Every structure is written in C-alpha cells, then in structure tokens.
Amino acid sequence: MEERIATLRRILDESAYTVALCGSGMMEEGGFAAIKGGDRAYEIEQKYGYSPEEIFTSGFYTARPMQFFEFYREELLKNIPEATESGTVMAQMERAGKLQCVISSNIFEQGRRAGCRNVIYLHGSIYRNFCPKCGREYPMEYLRDAKGIPACADCGFPVRPGVYLFGEMVDSGLLSRAVDEIAKADVLLLLGTNLHSEVFGNYIKYFGGKYLIIIHKHSHYLDDTADMVFLDHPRNILPLLGYGDGRKAEEK
C-alpha cells in the first residue's frame, strides 16, 4: 500500500491540473444512506406510500407539497452527512495548488463545509432555497424547522428547495463548466464513484489526460480501465497522501 500511495502522490505532484469527481460514496462515508435503490428505497415506500423516485420530483412538490416536505425534512434535512477527512484533505490540496476543481453530485456541500472553494455542485444545494414566485432566498434551517409547508414570508408561496429533483435538467452553464474542467485535467480523481456512474458517466468521456484514479468502496468491472484503483472510502486513502495533517479531523 505504501508504494501505491507514493505513486499516487507523485502523480498528483507532477500534475498541472487535477480535477476530482465526488459521487454518492462521499455522502456514504459521512453517514448518509442513499434514498434510491435497495432496502432504503423499500423502507421509504413503506413509510410514505410512494417510492423515492415518485416523491422527489417537481410534480410531487407541486401536487402534494405537505407530503413532499415531510419526506424532504425527515429523510434529507435531518440526515445531513458529516464532512469527512476527504474534504479536509481536498481543501489542503487545493491550497497547495494540487487540486484545481471539485465537481460534486453532493447536495450537502461536504466539500465547501470542509474548506474547498472551487466546487461545482451539479445537483444544487440544500443550503440555497428560494421562493419561486418572488425570489426571496431562505436558509436550510427555515425548511428544516418549518411546521408543515415552509411558506415564503413575503408572498406565502411554498419555498422551493435549491436542489435538482429527479427528472429535472441540470443547468446548461453548470454542465459546460464541468465539461471544460474535465477536458483540461491531467489527472481525474473519481472519489466515491466509478466509471459506471449514472451521474458522471457522460462527463468522463471528455477526459483526455494522463491518469484516471478511482478511490471507491465498491468495485465494478469497468475499474480495470482506470490507471489506479483503491477499493476503500476516500476518507481512508486521501489522508495518507500527506498533504498537511489530514488526520486532525479524525483525532478531534
């Protein structure tokens, strides 16, 4: 392992432009269980009478706002994953000039909360909410602590969570930024995701750099096409690179 870590550190040190793609595994390592698929999706359907794919949509938000916000509050806003050592190390790499951009499918802003600055959040953020009628903005706590439907204090319209719901198109400007960053990269880090990613699959094809590195707990047969693969949570690998004291967060 030490030799492989040393090789990864050398690759990152020699890279002129490194981009990290952060997937659902980053939320998983922070304690959040994905709402789609498996036992979790079954539990949600039994609890609310609808599948996550049905509830977490703009149509459901419009037609059944009371049920939508019950789900959104209980399953997302009250289960925010912790910022982990992964984010701490990425922030240290960014400050050291070893990481130029983070592209994330994470709606919980783990990267920003850990200190990363140049982050593209493809699916929006739970921390940036707004009234679709008058545009007034609201913090996450306003939605989390509301009784029933969180209504705009100015016009009474239901506040819109600042996240992309299932089936909604991602902003074209965000897509273009993400593609441009990936196309510029010498090294592409896949953290908490892999080449089979439902989110990142169409982005990875724009990568034409030198090294593609996967750090993900779950294996996939497409992993063989990557230059290096670490089958573990990023929080267990990134601190070993030695960019600052990446273990401080764990000790605290």
> Rounded distance, CA 87 to CA 115, Å?
7
pTM: 0.91
The predicted pLDDT at position 245 comes to 53
> Rounded distance, CA 52 to CA 64, Å?
14
Model confidence pLDDT, tens digit, residues 9-61:
999 999 999 999 999 999 999 999 888 877 889 999 999 999 999 999 999 99
The predicted pLDDT at position 251 comes to 32
Dihedral sign (CA 217, 221, 224, 225): negative
Distance, CA of 117 to chain centre: 14
Residue 249: is its pLDDT beyond 60? no
> How far, CA to CA in Å, does 164 sit from each of 15, 18, 67?
33, 26, 18
Cβ(231)–Cβ(206) below 8 Å: no
| Residues contacting 226, CB < 8 A, separation 6+ | 190, 195, 212, 213, 214
> Rounded distance, CA 165 to CA 90, Å?
27
Q: How much is the average pLDDT of 183-211?
A: 93
Model confidence pLDDT, tens digit, residues 77-105:
999 998 899 999 999 999 999 999 999 99
> Rounded distance, CA 201 to CA 197, Å?
5
| Residues contacting 238, CB < 8 A, separation 6+ | 85, 86, 89, 90, 191, 215, 246
Dihedral sign (CA 26, 27, 32, 34): negative
Q: How much is the average pLDDT of 230-248?
A: 83
Mean pLDDT of the chain: 92
- The number of residues making up the chain comes to 252
